[in-house]
Amino acid sequence: MDCLFCKIIAGEIPSKKLYEDEKVLAFYDIDPQAPVHFLVVPKEHIPSPAAIDGENCAVVAHIYAVIAQLAKELKLEKGYRVVANCGEDGGQTVGHLHFHVLAGRLLAWPPG
């Protein structure tokens, strides 16, 4: 399948890995938008947040637990933001479900 993040998961494209287990991979974003910016993706190819359903949703809970653990390890005690862009208007550019984790500066709200 011609999917950038599936290729990163398979090790065909290099990434700066932060965490990996049998279900998920976390790696640093290639174009960071904050001092800390990493992505957490399910190893299963799920095309977008709109494709989350009763069959595949357990990995989403796991991803949030992994993010909380990584935030502790990275000492993000001042806080962080988790973002999942969906579709064209949501700003999604890679068609494999991913959760951005942004931290290290005060993040504007609402986003632009």
Q: Which residues are catalytic?
A: 98
SS3 state of residue 17: strand
CA distance 70 to 112: 27
In sign, the C-alpha dihedral spanning 109, 17, 45, 96 is positive
Q: Measured in Å, how far apart are the chain's first and last C-alpha atoms?
A: 32
Count the Cβ atoms, other than its own, within 10 Å of residue 93: 7
User: Does 92 help bind ligand AMP (rule: CB under 6 A)?
Assistant: yes
Residue 31, binding choice from Zn ion, ligand AMP, none, Cβ under 5 to 8 Å by partner class: ligand AMP
Minimum CB distance to ligand AMP, residue 4 (Å): 6
Residue 82, binding choice from ligand AMP, Zn ion, none, Cβ under 5 to 8 Å by partner class: none
Give contact residues for Zn ion (rule: CB under 5 A). 3, 5-6, 45, 96
Give contact residues for ligand AMP (rule: CB under 6 A). 4, 13, 15, 29-31, 85, 91-94
